[in-house]
Amino acid sequence: MTLLAELSGSIGSVGYGLAAIGPGVGIGIIFGQGVQAIARQPEAYGVIRQNMLLGFALAEALALIGFVVPFVYGV
């Protein structure tokens, strides 16, 4: 197998950076839309906040798995 490129050093950190892109965009969208929904309908604040946090938790899990994996498999 021929090596095209090689990377050394703290690759786990690079992996975490890559893993954080998607959730970063997702969390931004969730809170952006959530705030918009609250502004449009302030009386539904309770329900919107709850669903906002739920969506946030689900999106954030991906970033957190990316954070933990380098520790598990060694940097």
Partner 1 sequence: MGLSLSAALPSSAWGCNFPECTFPAPGTEIFFFDNVFSIGPFGFNKAMIQLFIGAIVVIGFFWFAFRKPKIVPRGAQNVGEVGYGFIRDGIARDVIGKGGERFVPLLFTFFFFIWVLNFMGIFPTLVFPVTSVFAIPVAFALIVYLTWVPLGIAKQGGWGFFKNIMFPPGLPKPLYIILAPIELISNILVRPFTHCVRLFANMFAGHLLIVTFTVAAWYLFSPTIIGLLGSAVSFVVVLALTAFELLIQALQAYIFTLLTAVYISGALHAEH
**Position 11, amino acid:** I
**Residue 17: CB minimum distance to partner 1, A:** 14
Check binding of 31 to partner 1 (CB under 8 A): no
CB environment 3-27: b (16+ within 10 A), e (fewer): eeeeeeeeebeebbeebbeebeebb
How far apart are CB 65 and partner 1 at their closest, in Å? 6
Does residue 38 interact with partner 1 by CB under 8 A?
A: no
Between CA 33 and CA 55 the distance in angstroms is 11
Using CB under 8 A as the criterion, which residues of the chain lie in contact with partner 1 when the complex forms?
46-47, 50, 53-54, 56-58, 60-61, 64-65, 67-68, 71
